[in-house]
Structure 1
Amino acid sequence: MIESLTMAEGAFGVMSRTVSRGLPVIFLYVRLFFFGGVMKANGVILNYVVEKLQTTNMLVGWAFTLQCAIAYMLTPVGGYLLNYSSFRQLGIGGGILIGLGYVASGLLLTRVWQLFLFHSVSGIGFGLLTLPSFIYLQIHFPESFPTLISLTSLSIFAGVATLPPILASLIDHYGDKAALTLFGALLWNCVLVGVTMKSTAKTETFLSSVAVTKDVPPSHLHDFDRYMLMFASPFRHRKFAMCFLLSGVSMYVYSSWAIFLVSFGESVGFTPRMAVYLSSAGGIGGIAGSALAFLQFYFNRMNAVTGCLLPLVINGLSLLISVFSTSYGITLTVTCISGFVQGYHYSALCGLMTTLLCQYHLRDGISMTFISEGMCYQFGGLFSGIVKDYFGSTNSVFLLNAVLSFAAIPFAVIWTLDKRPVHECYPKNQDSLE
């Protein structure tokens, strides 16, 4: 009897440790689910906010994309704050801010400056969660980390497919203000991301190493020089430079597509509900594309041609067809295809990025990429809003996105033709890299 109880306790302990180990992975994807979904959900309320605040598409689109831009650009800040906070503290604080921005929008929004403020608060919350959650996984899953990263866009596009219909349904049942408030409460599930990032021996070792670095005298550390060096050193890896550029272009196109897809559907004569279904089709396509990219990474079949060159060509054609289509069936189909290749492309770039940098430059390269993607995310809303206000049609926005996709193709070709291996750099001899 005692032996049976001991075995049961042992089995329960193993199961408990397995669940505890897997929860941070699960809730990383929960964060990405909401992060990807809120951008598309913002598109559902675009026209409503423009009319409510009596403002322009440019300002509203800018405010919406500023949310995600801040999240990306604050990525290094989240890593720096680990000098003073635990993973769990940053995660919980970030999760609270994410929902707070939308709750405040639902209860208090009456001015354009408030729109920028509330979405910035939500963006700060996402930013505080981003790098700590990635570092936490890298600490605990070093061998499977590239595979886990390649799955990130699958979760993002699951949010793209799911959250816009949820917000639209909330608006139908409760009205715009109450819907935004409830939507913010739903986003508070991101607090669970922080709850799962509990302290372990590995995280304590990591934080101790960070603290040692922090305590080095300024005369020896040269913080500013090292910070500026972060923006140059990873470019010693030439293929990373191409991947970096292409990730910025793809993020611009994605943010513009995400914000203005519902508006695009309404502008060509589809009903609001049909326009929302375009977003769901794009999200479903993105899930499938992300899954395919994951399988290619798993079986070691991913490369620059399949992961970058072909998606740029197909996405450009899909966007171009959608501009000239008047059939809902055709538009729905090419939107799904566009979502598929964008999900595939983003997942491919995320996974390939880790293979184009040495271990010494990996963290700086990832931080730089997040900053660049954040800026391009913001430009996607700002410039697309300007284009729509100037030409009076969302078709012009999608046409510009198609042109950008085609314009990026030569850079993908350069990357494809570069067969040089990745050199490993080290702190003591990094300047010797040719």
Structure 2
Amino acid sequence: MENMKENRRRLSWIVFASACVRVFFASGSLKANGVILEDLVVRFNSSHSLVAWAFSLQNGCSLLITPVGTMLLQIFSHRQLSITGGFCAGAGYILSGLFAEEVWHIFATYILSGIGFGLTIISGYLALKENFPDNISTVSCFAELFHFVGMATMPTVLNSLKVQFGLRNSLILLGAIMWNLIPCGVGITIPKDTNNSRTVVKKGQPHESIEKEEKLDNVEYDLLKRGSLLMFMESYFPFFLPFYYHMTFRYLVIFTLTGAYVYTSWVIFLISLGTSLDLPMDQAVFLSTVGGVSGLLGKLLGATLFYVDKANVYIACLSLLGNALSMLAVIFMRNYLMIAALTFCSGLSLGLSTNLLYGMIPLMVCSHHFPPAFSVVLLLQGAVIQLSGLLSGVVRDAMGSTVYVFGFNGILCLAVLPFMIPWVCTDQTVETCRFG
């Protein structure tokens, strides 16, 4: 028995290590895209808005595919889905390097890569929850530390590849590096004693034909008693249920969408900001390393706050305020050290806010509503990310400088703060299910 527990513990930590690698590559590749932004604009004689939109589509599709990935897990295993996603993530970059001749080719290949990242993320995160059911907030926060490790590392890697091998070959090599996600998928395992109690309602008979596979929990019994509307929502639109059963969840979603917009714009245009502020290219690329290191520290701070049970809405609002002030201040700077210092501050705030998001979802919704809550957050994030890349690119093209992009992002963070007041006025950050 002790040997079985030890083996199970070892396999769980392999799943954790796989999650860290996935976060590293998914986040690092998005940040690395900023290195080739200007190159692709010139190569395809295109605009910043279109190329930035292609980049944001990659990240957005990785989140928009989440509900589909959740449904596919009813058919395929977490391992199969993760392996498939890892293959698609690398194949998208390789196809970009081999065949991209027009800007729409970049759209197609980056969408493929984004779908691959999405399949690995949803399968890996839910597998992590199955392996660490009692500590998912803390464990996921520590896995998210590699988010900014990738951001600090991958831009430098891609820039070196581009200098040595050219744009096309660097994309092919980057795709080959991304195929390291395939063995990460192989390492995913799910405990055999995991029970997923659920109610299956046959389509066309939402009120009458209910097949109970296993023992129903209290929430599901409550749904049965509450009438046809909730039964219909449970059966066909489960992604909206967390908003009904967990009232403060909506404020977390507002916080999430603001962070997703600002983070995507920051990631794509940080290097471009450096060149707009008259920095040489090597110093502009180094800003991504500064932002990655500070983001890592922000993630570590967030993980520590969850570990000591001090993460709350006040910290979330402070992260928004810090991000707003640093982004508004950097547009007036011309000294490299001051620009790097403010980049450090914005990276610290963004790292903290993203860690708060993934750590607070398991705390703010019950285990029954966690899968749909997680899926709907990623779905809405994906939609906002599309807007971020496109709108930030439009601002860049219209105004002629990236400093206006960062100014807009800072004002947006300040504008959202009043919407957090109802959340601040609640007595609790952790809310139980209204009918659990």
Residue of structure 2 equivalent to 1:5: none
Map of 2:200 onto structure 1: 213
**Cα distance in 2 between the residues matched to 1:226 and 1:259:** 39
> What letter corresponds to residue 309 of structure 2 in structure 1?
N
Query: How many angstroms does 1:350 deviate by?
Result: 1.8
Aligned match of 1:252 in 258, 261, 270?
Answer: 261
Q: Does 1:288 align with 2:297?
A: yes
Q: Report the 3-state secondary structure (helix = DSSP H, G, I; strand = E; otherwise coil) of the residue aligned with 1:354.
A: helix
The TM-score, its normalising length taken from structure 1, stands at: 0.90
Match in the other structure for 1:38: 29
**1:164 aligned partner:** 155
Q: Does 1:310 align with 2:318?
A: yes
**Partner Cα separation in structure 2 for residue 233 and residue 291 of structure 1:** 28
Deviations 1:265-321 (A, max 9, x none): 111111111111001100000000110111111111111112x11111111110011
Cα pair 2:79 2:188 within 8 Å, conserved: yes
Structure 2 CA distance for aligned equivalents of residues 229 and 184 of structure 1? 36
User: Counterparts of 2:7 and 2:369 in 1: how far apart (Å)?
Assistant: 36
SS at match of 2:278: coil
CA distance in 1, matches of 2:283, 2:114: 29
The answer on 1:100 being equivalent to 2:91 is yes
Give deviations 1:387-412, integer Å, cap 9, x for gaps.
Answer: 11111110110000000111111122
Residues 69, 378 of structure 1: 8 Å contact kept: yes
Q: 2:255 is aligned with what amino acid? A: L
1:109 Cα shift?
0.9
Contact 2:364 2:432 in 1 (8 A): no
Cα distance in 1, alignment partners of residues 376 and 158 from structure 2: 33
CA contact (8 A) 1:289 1:340 kept: yes
1:226 matched to 2:217? The reply is no
Q: Is the 8 A contact 1:78 1:132 kept in 2?
A: yes
Whole-Å Cα distance in 1 between the matches of residues 233 and 45 of structure 2?
43
Aligned to 1:301: 310
Decide whether the 8 Å contact of 2:16 with 2:143 is kept in 1. Answer: no
Contact 1:160 1:283 in 2 (8 A): yes
Does the 8 Å contact 2:32/2:158 carry over to 1?
A: yes
Contact between 2:79 and 2:123, CA under 8 Å: does it hold in 1? no
Query: Which amino acid is the alignment partner of residue 60 of structure 2?
Result: A
Q: CA–CA distance in 1 between the matches of 2:237 and 2:205?
A: 16
Which amino acid in structure 1 is aligned with residue 424 of structure 2? T
Contact persistence 2:271–2:287 (CA under 8 A): yes
Q: Distance in 2 between matches of 1:74 and 1:363?
A: 14
| C-alpha distance in 1 between matches for 2:362 and 2:5 | 32
Q: What is the rounded CA distance, in whole Å, between the counterparts of 2:321 and 2:360 in structure 1? A: 19
Report matched runs for 1:329-340 at 5 Å.
Answer: 329-340=337-348
Equivalent residue number for residue 223 of structure 2: none
Instruction: Judge conservation of contact 2:200–2:235 (CA < 8 Å) in 1.
Output: no
1:120 counterpart letter in structure 2: I
Question: What is the SS of the residue equivalent to 2:200?
Answer: helix
Q: Could you tell me how far 1:18 is from its partner in structure 2?
A: 4.0
Structure-1 separation of matches of 2:246 and 2:373:
10
**Letter of the structure 1 residue corresponding to residue 200 of structure 2:** T
Q: Give the alignment of 1:375-390 within 5 angstroms.
A: 375-390=383-398
C-alpha distance in structure 1 between counterparts of 2:269 and 2:232, whole Å: 41
- Does 2:285 align with 1:276? yes
- Residue 218 of structure 1, CA deviation: 4.4
Runs (4+) off by over 6 Å: 221-225
> Structure 1: where are the runs of 5+ without partners?
1-9
Structure 2 distance, partners of 1:227, 1:64, is: 32
Alignment match of 1:53 (pick from 44, 48, 52): 44
CA contact (8 A) 1:154 1:290 kept: yes
Q: Does structure 1 residue 112 correspond to structure 2 residue 106?
A: no
Q: Which amino acid aligns with 1:213?
A: V
The alignment status of 1:341 with 2:341, answered yes or no, reads no
Measured at CA, do residues 422 and 379 of structure 1 come closer, stay the same or move farther in structure 2, by a change above 3 Å? same
Asked if 1:240 corresponds to 2:249, the answer is yes
Q: Secondary structure at the match of 1:213?
A: strand
Aligned twin of 2:226: none
1:301, 1:225 → 2: CA distance? 33
Output the amino acid matched with 1:238: M
CA distance in 2, matches of 1:219, 1:14: 43
- Cα separation, 1, equivalents of 2:233 and 2:109: 31
Shift of 1:200: 4.7
User: May I ask how many residue pairs the two structures share in their alignment?
Assistant: 411
Secondary structure of residue in 1 paired with 2:106:
helix
Deviation at 1:264, TM superposition (A): 1.0
For residues 362 and 191 of structure 2, the distance between their equivalents in structure 1, rounded to whole angstroms, comes to 25
Q: Which residue is 1:351 aligned to?
A: 359
| Correspondence list, 1:80-95, <5 A | 80-95=71-86
Question: Among 396, 403, 416, which residue is 1:408 paired with?
Answer: 416
TM superposition shift of 1:234: 2.3
Which residue is 1:4 aligned to?
A: none
CA distance in 1, matches of 2:190, 2:365: 29
Structure 2 counterpart of 1:226, one-letter code: S
Q: Contact 1:43 / 1:258 at 8 angstroms: preserved in 2? A: yes
Letter of the structure 1 residue corresponding to residue 253 of structure 2: F
Question: Percent identity at matched positions?
Answer: 33
Change in CA separation of 1:284 and 1:145 when aligned onto 2, cut-off 3 Å: same
Give the aligned residue type for 1:108.
F
Q: Compute the displacement of 1:129 (Å).
A: 1.5
CA positional deviation for 1:217 = 5.1
Compared CA separation, residues 224 and 70, structure 1 to 2 (3 A):
farther
Cα contact 1:152–1:347 (8 A) shared by 2: no
Report deviation, 1:230. 2.1
Query: What is the CA–CA distance in structure 1 between the aligned matches of 2:191 and 2:141, rounded to whole Å?
Result: 25
Distance 2:237 2:189 in 1: 32
Give, as a single letter, the amino acid of the residue that structure 2 aligns with 1:43: G
Distance in 2, Cα, partners of 1:276 & 1:235: 45
Counterpart of 1:219 in structure 2: which amino acid? Q
Could you tell me the TM-score, scaled by structure 2's length?
Answer: 0.89
> In the alignment, does 2:179 pair up with 1:188?
yes
Measured after TM superposition, the shift of residue 15 of structure 1 is: 6.4
Q: Give the whole-Å Cα distance in 2 for the aligned partners of 1:309 and 1:135.
A: 28
Name the stretch that deviates more: 314-323 or 219-228: 219-228
SS of the residue 2:331 aligns to = helix
